[in-house]
Amino acid sequence: QKEVEQNSGPLSVPEGAIASLNCTYSDRGSQSFFWYRQYSGKSPELIMSIYSNGDKEDGRFTAQLNKASQYVSLLIRDSQPSDSATYLCAVTHSGYALNFGKGTSLLVTP
């Protein structure tokens, strides 16, 4: 069974702080890595994709990938209450379906 593990949380951070979300995966052959945001009752929304080791920045979001450690993370800078949601980590081989973690609930408090 190919596992994607996330801490379920909730992770609580004050407004303006950095939120750090972590994800580990078991399949060493994984090639594509994604972070999705899901608000309650809504479908997932793609935030970031990352394919190679290192950091990738997009606005307030930074994805970090370390394939040797089988670890991918998402940093959210200047967290806002509107960032409060569940963040899903997804991993896949090229061409295959996404394998999702159970998600981390983030709460940004004003």
Binding site for another protein (CB under 8 A): 31-32, 34, 36, 41-46, 49, 51, 88, 92, 94-98, 100-103
User: Rounded to whole angstroms, what are the CA distances from 58 to 40, 61, 62?
Assistant: 24, 5, 6
Residue placing its CB nearer to another protein in the complex, 29 or 95? 95
Q: Per the structure block, which two tokens stand in for 74?
A: 């998402």
CB 37, min distance to another protein, A: 11
CB 95, min distance to another protein, A: 7
Residue placing its CB nearer to another protein in the complex, 44 or 64? 44
Burial of 30 (0-12, 13-18, 19+ CB in 10 A): buried
